Chains A and B, each alone.
Chain A
């Protein structure tokens, strides 16, 4: 005899599913003799429950709900008191298989059914095989996308790598060094980028966006918008003549807006493809029909065509890997620290560029100062090197007013930045302000200890505000372990901004028919046992678009996603998504399996 306890969730999801409907369904399942609601049971009194158990002579209990596990221990106690085996408690956790919204009632029912039959959901919910198109689409050209593409292409199968911006490389290309080994990001990444550019099985489509996805797993038809580069990548030699005379300027995305770029530009010298393009949004010719200097100057005839139009190409693929990555938290929201108000309050990503040899100051750390025209720019003059720098952790992370979650990487990259600053400015003083240091990975703790030894002064305590007096910034903070109030005068403040889902993540999810969580990170099939698959077959997620991740985890996950693709290629078939299964199908399968188990 089985009893079902339908628990109310501890952290309520936005639109909870209608539990009554599920309960009615569950009550009808074979062997179910009792259905308990939170109102029936006082979760403080196991004796009462154990009596219930004995009265209805219950042998198994199924706990159904979003956080079923929260109540398991209570029931196992009750079971023991009733003289039963605590092992006979089965969790039907809706979250576990992504049934937390009201439109997922059917799956919730299926989960309960499997639990009642005592069959693991994975085993019962086995979709049928579909024919497979071996080609693969990878969305996003960051490290995750690059890794996944290379893994798949290594098996001599076609990969389409679609990247929104003009070059692949993503955030990693912007970094100077990577923690904890401190080898330069470029040295690790550029070879991979080069390989992508040269690989015969990888069709690289930069400056393009996925517009629509149709079809079924194993055979998707994807429309891709190829934005006009206006410079023919095949004939462009990358000489850069077009950029010389190109007047209009705009903050460079690659340099985190610390420098200006022209309309005819190349994202950065090592970009892949290493070809120039023209940004229509600021090109004088395209705005008011005059100029066109680049066309005259370009040594290759017919290479530049300012009137080129965007085109839409259509490709057919069997698998799709989403690796759209993340965006950094917008620090202007965080009023207290005066980002955007005070010129020398920088975000960590800006500092990365500042430290980088190819950055605005050629790797020199210098404050922003006002030039003749009165706008704030970084200088090479050594008089402006900061004497002291403050690095503030958890900007926009672990904060109910912004993002509740922890961004996972900030602690470590802050320590890294501290080290790099110390290396470049040995005599200046570096302060870190943190809540908890989260140095969790291989060699991270060692790195943390090393930074401490290097004389970076690491303070436990979250600063409340940054104020500017003259050209001096003052960070006010409590040094919790030192039991004092610090009012630190610094020349430069670095905000360790957290990571956020891409703004268009919801759009992509909707386009591909996958789900996002409350923050907008893509939801995986099962966080514990299947962290890369989604509920739609043939669509895997990799890297930071699933949640904050550091590079090693991202690379590993990207390869994992690739393995799913390779598996289907090896079988030359692909499993349909769980979504495709109806409740009945799952239930009947579960029934069969449970019979097999009994025999």
Chain B
């Protein structure tokens, strides 16, 4: 059980970040555990970023990009998707529950969906125990 899970989110500038802004301009309310990092395209998300975030003590990581076919850079989100699958495998090997990593498509007009997504993800993470990764890393280094 984890009352205040820490979420780091990588949002692409064109669809998802705009969607998140829309959620703001239309005053939707969602859980405040999320911290958003803006990148130009979900294709920019490197595994390193995700792992770093876990290392720094994030309980969950959310990656959002444009819907398939809507990418501002044509196919960045597909590349992101491929990496995501690989990364999931890797997480399993490292013994990190894959629920902690989530990839979703949020378009510029989906403020509601974004708010819903954040709340759901927070709920799942509340279900899990606080992430031990940071401690582990500290103890071993």
Q: Which residues of A contact B (CB under 8 A)?
A: 181-183, 423, 450
Q: How far is the CB of A282 from chain B (nearest CB, A)?
A: 41
Q: How far is the CB of B37 from chain A (nearest CB, A)?
A: 23
| A181: chain B residues within 8 A (beta carbon) | 25
- How many angstroms between the C-alpha atoms of A181 and B24 in the bound complex? 10
On whether the beta carbons of A423 and B25 are closer than 8 Å, the reply is no
- How many angstroms between the C-alpha atoms of A183 and B26 in the bound complex? 9
- How many angstroms between the C-alpha atoms of A423 and B26 in the bound complex? 12
- How many angstroms between the C-alpha atoms of A154 and B111 in the bound complex? 34
- How many angstroms between the C-alpha atoms of A503 and B26 in the bound complex? 38
| A450: chain B residues within 8 A (beta carbon) | 26
| B26: chain A residues within 8 A (beta carbon) | 182, 450
Tell whether B89 is near chain A: CB-to-CB under 8 Å.
no
- How many angstroms between the C-alpha atoms of A450 and B26 in the bound complex? 10
- How many angstroms between the C-alpha atoms of A450 and B27 in the bound complex? 12
User: Using an 8 Å CB-CB cutoff, how does the interface string of B24-38 with A read, 1 for contact, 0 for none?
Assistant: 011100000000000
- How many angstroms between the C-alpha atoms of A183 and B22 in the bound complex? 10
Q: How far is the CB of B19 from chain A (nearest CB, A)?
A: 14
- How many angstroms between the C-alpha atoms of A255 and B21 in the bound complex? 30
Q: How far is the CB of B115 from chain A (nearest CB, A)?
A: 14
| B25: chain A residues within 8 A (beta carbon) | 181-183
- How many angstroms between the C-alpha atoms of A182 and B24 in the bound complex? 10
**Sample of 7 A–B contacts (CB below 8 Å):** A181-B25, A182-B25, A182-B26, A182-B27, A183-B25, A423-B27, A450-B26
Q: How far is the CB of B27 from chain A (nearest CB, A)?
A: 7
Lowest 3 A-B CB distances belong to which pairs? A181-B25, A183-B25, A182-B25
* B3-30, CB < 8 A from A: 25-27
**Nearest A residue to B109 by beta-carbon distance?**
A443
| A182: chain B residues within 8 A (beta carbon) | 25-27
| A183: chain B residues within 8 A (beta carbon) | 25
- How many angstroms between the C-alpha atoms of A225 and B82 in the bound complex? 68
- How many angstroms between the C-alpha atoms of A302 and B25 in the bound complex? 47
Q: How far is the CB of B73 from chain A (nearest CB, A)?
A: 26
Q: How far is the CB of A363 from chain B (nearest CB, A)?
A: 15
- How many angstroms between the C-alpha atoms of A423 and B27 in the bound complex? 10
Q: How far is the CB of B55 from chain A (nearest CB, A)?
A: 37
| B27: chain A residues within 8 A (beta carbon) | 182, 423
Q: How far is the CB of A177 from chain B (nearest CB, A)?
A: 10
- How many angstroms between the C-alpha atoms of A181 and B26 in the bound complex? 7
| A423: chain B residues within 8 A (beta carbon) | 27
Q: How far is the CB of B30 from chain A (nearest CB, A)?
A: 17
Q: How far is the CB of B50 from chain A (nearest CB, A)?
A: 33
* B85-126, CB < 8 A from A: none
- How many angstroms between the C-alpha atoms of A182 and B26 in the bound complex? 7
Q: How far is the CB of B121 from chain A (nearest CB, A)?
A: 25
**Nearest B residue to A423 by beta-carbon distance?**
B27
- How many angstroms between the C-alpha atoms of A181 and B109 in the bound complex? 12
- How many angstroms between the C-alpha atoms of A182 and B27 in the bound complex? 9
- How many angstroms between the C-alpha atoms of A151 and B27 in the bound complex? 32
- How many angstroms between the C-alpha atoms of A423 and B29 in the bound complex? 13
- How many angstroms between the C-alpha atoms of A568 and B26 in the bound complex? 42
Q: How far is the CB of A447 from chain B (nearest CB, A)?
A: 10
Q: How far is the CB of B85 from chain A (nearest CB, A)?
A: 37
**Nearest A residue to B21 by beta-carbon distance?**
A183
Q: How far is the CB of A288 from chain B (nearest CB, A)?
A: 52
Q: How far is the CB of B95 from chain A (nearest CB, A)?
A: 45
Q: How far is the CB of A464 from chain B (nearest CB, A)?
A: 35
- How many angstroms between the C-alpha atoms of A183 and B27 in the bound complex? 11
**Nearest A residue to B26 by beta-carbon distance?**
A182
Q: How far is the CB of B24 from chain A (nearest CB, A)?
A: 9
- How many angstroms between the C-alpha atoms of A577 and B26 in the bound complex? 47
- How many angstroms between the C-alpha atoms of A423 and B28 in the bound complex? 12
Q: How far is the CB of A425 from chain B (nearest CB, A)?
A: 15
**Nearest B residue to A177 by beta-carbon distance?**
B25
**Nearest A residue to B22 by beta-carbon distance?**
A181
Q: How far is the CB of B113 from chain A (nearest CB, A)?
A: 15
- How many angstroms between the C-alpha atoms of A450 and B25 in the bound complex? 14
Q: How far is the CB of A422 from chain B (nearest CB, A)?
A: 11
Q: How far is the CB of A77 from chain B (nearest CB, A)?
A: 47
Q: How far is the CB of B58 from chain A (nearest CB, A)?
A: 31
- How many angstroms between the C-alpha atoms of A181 and B18 in the bound complex? 13
**Nearest B residue to A450 by beta-carbon distance?**
B26
Q: How far is the CB of B112 from chain A (nearest CB, A)?
A: 11
- How many angstroms between the C-alpha atoms of A450 and B112 in the bound complex? 13
**Nearest B residue to A183 by beta-carbon distance?**
B25
Q: How far is the CB of A13 from chain B (nearest CB, A)?
A: 45
- How many angstroms between the C-alpha atoms of A450 and B22 in the bound complex? 15
Q: How far is the CB of B20 from chain A (nearest CB, A)?
A: 15
**Nearest B residue to A181 by beta-carbon distance?**
B25
Q: How far is the CB of B26 from chain A (nearest CB, A)?
A: 7
Q: How far is the CB of A286 from chain B (nearest CB, A)?
A: 47
Q: How far is the CB of B7 from chain A (nearest CB, A)?
A: 26
- How many angstroms between the C-alpha atoms of A333 and B27 in the bound complex? 38
